[in-house]
Amino acid sequence: MMPLKNAAYFFREAFKSIARNHLLSIATISTIAICILILGMSVLLTMNTSTFLANLESDVEIMAYLEQELDQDSIQEVKDKLESLSGIESITFVSREEALKDMQETLGKKNYDLESTLGKNPLPDSFEIKALDPHDVPQLAVQIGKIPGVYKVNYGKGVVEQLFSTARWVRVVSVVFIILLALGAVFLIATTIRLAIFARRKEIYLMKLIGSTDWFIRWPFFIEGIGLGALGSMVSILILALAYGSLLNRVDTIFFMALVSDFDVLIHLYLGLFGAGVVLGIIGTAISINRFLDV
């Protein structure tokens, strides 16, 4: 804990150091701002990509096609058995007539009667089934296919598994990339702050000789690191918020991908980046100062 009686001295020394080494302070703030800006852009890209992939996953449905000869009672029995399965979010019955109408709207022209061309309606009754967890779709499809009265189950086998695999790898790569960026930011910030501390190495040496404790020497540097981290992160957040806000005002989607625009989510992101800047400043200071305390 910082001794309260020395707090004023620590803050005064920190601000004096920032003012005296203004060029290094500006360099440190710029380094932190650039690192946090790149980190923020990466997080925003990851968030938007994850949202897009989550929407794709949530659109995965199971189509259970029923045997042609089933009557209403048999169809209700199939529905009851579907409802007894765990992990199902919703079940929607699609009659043969509705299915043909949807096909007419999707494939046919306004003045074209698809049913008269086919002679009869070849489509079966079916159920559209959505899972609570899209990743459970393959297992649910197997269970549904075993229900009497269901002659075929379709959920895009192969494509769905590939989608889930791709989504998983994208998320893993995104997290690894963000971690590497954070580590790179710590290295750059530590290097920059080390230059500021190196300029004061004689002062640190003299303080050690007259009996100052390590923490008495550390506190002004930590306050300086926190201040520089906070300033750098605020600069990057301002740039990021203005740029992303301008993008949202111009477009709602990019390549059919809806952009994250929830105010609370963005505020939490910006607060997180601010905290990251402060933490990076502390870590960079801690890494840099320890070597100069061994006298």
Give the three-state DSSP class for 39.
helix
Provide the token pair at 144.
Answer: 């549904």
Distant-in-sequence, close-in-space partners of 116: CB < 8 Å, separation ≥ 6: none
Q: Which amino acid is at 106?
A: T
Distance CA 125, CA 86 (A): 23
pLDDT < 70 stretches in the chain: 1-5, 106-119, 189, 192-193, 196, 252-257, 291-295
Distant-in-sequence, close-in-space partners of 131: CB < 8 Å, separation ≥ 6: 60, 62, 87, 88, 89, 137, 140
Q: Phi first, then psi: give them for residue 65, nearest 5 degrees.
A: -90, 135
Give the three-state DSSP class for 212.
coil
Dihedral class, residue 292 (left if φ above 0, else alpha if ψ from -120 to 50, else beta): alpha
Structural domains of the chain in order of their starting residue, each with its CATH number: 4-56+162-293 (no CATH), 61-155 (3.30.70.3040)
pLDDT one-digit tens code per residue, 204-254: 778 778 877 777 878 888 888 888 888 989 999 999 999 998 888 877 666
pLDDT one-digit tens code per residue, 18-50: 787 778 778 778 888 888 888 888 888 888 888
Q: Is the pTM of this model over 0.95?
A: no
| Cα dihedral 127, 133, 139, 140 in deg (nearest 10) | -20
